[in-house]
Amino acid sequence: MELTFSLEEIDNAAKQILAHDMKKTVLFHAGMGVGKTTLIKAIAKQLGVKDMTSSPTFSLVNEYETENGDILYHFDLYRLNTEEEAYDMGLDEYFYSGNLCLIEWPEKTPNLIPLDHTTITIKQLPDGKRHLVVK
């Protein structure tokens, strides 16, 4: 699936992403400031998360409950130095928990990511819109 959207259209983009056949582990690839966290917030909103979502840059993971009572984990792995550090924190247990895991900077832990995952790649276009590819 490919999609181009403006920030004003991000809620609709999140709906379309959720309508896609996604795995429980979703990897977000994009450069700094392209909108990974903003898109994840929109996805969480579409899932009925009532709590304020924020980037887990310092905590590495935030846990949210959806309106259906399901658990959603949002990871920001940017600050990890080594995969061993992630493993020591038990990140792999989250990844294999059966709960939805939305992961920013997954390239920091390539050997811990489940093989069965969805990848979302986001690029910012010159006009400020975002183009994403879901695989």
* DSSP character string of 20-35: S---SEEEEE--TTSS
pLDDT of residue 51: 75
Q: Answer whether 49's CB lies under 8 Å from 61's CB.
A: no
Instruction: Tell me the CATH number at 9.
Output: 3.40.50.300
| For residue 63, pLDDT beyond 80 | yes
At 96-135, the pLDDT tens digits run 999 999 999 999 999 999 999 999 999 999 999 999 999 9
Query: Rounded CA gap, 125 and 74, in Å?
Result: 25
When pLDDT is cut at 50, 70 and 90, the band that residue 53 belongs to is low
Domain hosting 118: range is 2-134
Query: Rounded CA gap, 7 and 83, in Å?
Result: 33
pLDDT of residue 56: 65
Total count of domains within the chain: 1
Q: Which residues contact 47 (CB under 8 A, 6 or more apart)?
A: 18, 66, 67, 68, 70, 72, 100
Instruction: Report the predicted TM-score, pTM, of the whole model to 2 decimal places.
Output: 0.92
At 7-42, the pLDDT tens digits run 999 999 999 999 998 999 999 999 999 999 999 999
| For residue 58, pLDDT beyond 60 | no
Tokens read off for 94:
């989250």
pLDDT of residue 50: 84
